Structure 1
Amino acid sequence: MRTYAIGDIHGQLGKLQAAHGLIAADGAGPEDVIVHVGDLVDRGPDSRGVIDWLMAGQAGGAPWVVLKGNHDRMFVGFVGDAGHVDPGLRADLSYLHPKIGGGATLASYGVLNAADRPLGPVWAEVQEAVPPAHVAWLAELPSRFARDEALFVHAGIDPDVALAEQVEDALLWIREPFLSDKRDHGPLIVHGHTVVEQATHYGNRLNIDSGAAYGGPLSAVVIEGREAWLLTPAGRQPILP
């Protein structure tokens, strides 16, 4: 059984379409699921295009799973309430802070220079510009997906909590103690959220966030059992633990 996975997209529509091209070139069939591990929006130039493209693919029957990332949840929260603060976000940050990159997402909907203008008028424009269907779709995205010997999540899991009892805050935001935990979690945990130079297999987890938001590549991988390969224009490249 093959499962494909794509790392954090962050508004990079061209890279997303190229990643799907690599998956097609690998011979993916209608029974092979493609999982996107979240963070569709923020920082990159075309978050709206990414959402439109993924929604259209799913509506057309493509075997695509799209998971919710912390940035996706922050965007939904901001559209619903200009003062919303996600419980996972540092107290000194906000959705429009440059480190978060929400301004780039709003610009893709035509709301320009959001971080440099008064919040009230910006939020009023957002209500007119962001389609309710986009917000509803993002809000309803799942936070986990299990298939074969892998569990796909955005950020990771709390290693001290049973898999069945994991809460969304952990699945969307966790770094430590997950990243340094060497224990076998049962399934291979496939995740993004924490940028690495290239997709990396740690034995108990596979990190596929290679920094597309910061000029890095958008990784597309194929997983068979607990083995993984990076998809490249030259074909599969093993990702060894």
Structure 2
Amino acid sequence: MLSYAIGDIHGQLEMLETAHALIEADRAAHGSAGPEALKAPIIHVGDLVDRGPDSAGVIDYLMTGQERGEPWIVLRGNHDRMFLGFLKDPTSQDPLLNPNLTWLNSRLGGEATLQSYGIADASSRPLEEIRKELGAVPQAHRDWLASQPAWHSRGEALFVHAGIRPGVALEDQVEDDLLWIREPFLSDPRDHGVLVVHGHTKIDHATHYGNRLNLDSGAGYFQPLTAVAIEGRSAWHLTPDGRVPLTPTRS
């Protein structure tokens, strides 16, 4: 069963369009594998917004693609949840965010997201002033982002933003973990029953650890955005020269 997946996007619309082009090239190259290759979905593992220059464009691109029937699955990441929380109440704080930070802190990149909607210099102005300008974010974008799932299961792969709580059944996983977890997930060597495909924790390049596959190659820091093809528990990095196998290694 073939699936495609794309790592954390973080407002990088041009990189996202390039990743989709690589996937379309792979569809064409492997079309002889049967109709499944033409219908394989693209799963985006979340963090659509923050840091990059065009979060609004990313949301519009993905939302419009789904509306015209593209087989695209879009998961919510922790940055997407923080954005939604800010839109509801700019004074709110995600319970899992470091209490010394706010979404507008430069480390998180919320200011760049608001800038993409035409709301300038948000981190240097009073929150009540910013609150009055939040109408620039279309209700359609808010509703669409809030409606996206936190996980997607397909074949031998489970797609989530951050990871899972090891040893906990999928039906008992909580959103806080699916969107925010690092440890004990990252260092857990056990077989989770599926290949967990995730982002959230930035690494230099997509890496297959045997029981999990991390796709966050740092697009939020203007490093490459990764697209992969997945069949069973095997994965290939998609490049302009075609598929490159991602050989499992240990954490």
**Structure-2-length-normalised TM-score:** 0.94
**Could you report, residue by residue, the CA deviation over 1:32-59 in whole angstroms, capped at 9, with x for unpaired residues?**
1100000000000000000000000000
Q: Alignment RMSD, CA only?
A: 0.8
Q: Match for residue 220 of structure 1?
A: 227
Match of 2:113 among 105, 125, 137: 105
1:178 aligns with 2:185: yes
CA distance in 1, matches of 2:18, 2:90: 34
Q: Match for residue 87 of structure 2?
A: 79
Q: List runs of 5+ in structure 2 lacking aligned partners.
A: 29-36
Q: Match for residue 208 of structure 2?
A: 201
Within 5 A, what are the aligned runs for 1:33-182?
A: 33-126=41-134, 128-182=135-189
CA distance in 2, matches of 1:192, 1:161: 19
Letter in 1 for 2:182: R
The answer (yes or no) to whether the contact 2:4–2:229 under 8 Å persists in 1 is yes
4+ aligned runs moved over 6 Å, structure 1: none
Letter in 1 for 2:160: V
Aligned-pair distance for 1:203? 0.3
Aligned-pair distance for 1:226? 0.2
CA distance in 1, matches of 2:42, 2:19: 11
CA distance in 1, matches of 2:144, 2:245: 34
SS in 1 for 2:51: coil
Aligned-pair distance for 1:30? 4.1
**Could you report, residue by residue, the CA deviation over 1:84-138 in whole angstroms, capped at 9, with x for unpaired residues?**
1111111111111111100000000000000011111012111x20001111111
CA distance in 2, matches of 1:88, 1:21: 35
CA distance in 2, matches of 1:67, 1:134: 14
Moved more, 78-87 or 219-228: 78-87
CA distance in 1, matches of 2:38, 2:103: 37
CA distance in 2, matches of 1:228, 1:88: 31
CA distance in 2, matches of 1:179, 1:70: 17
**Could you report, residue by residue, the CA deviation over 1:128-175 in whole angstroms, capped at 9, with x for unpaired residues?**
200011111111110000001000000000103222210100000000
The answer (yes or no) to whether the contact 1:34–1:65 under 8 Å persists in 2 is yes
The answer (yes or no) to whether the contact 2:46–2:161 under 8 Å persists in 1 is yes
SS in 2 for 1:26: helix
Q: Percent identity?
A: 63
Aligned-pair distance for 1:31? 1.5
Q: Match for residue 6 of structure 2?
A: 6
CA distance in 1, matches of 2:115, 2:214: 29
CA distance in 1, matches of 2:130, 2:93: 17
The answer (yes or no) to whether the contact 2:167–2:192 under 8 Å persists in 1 is no
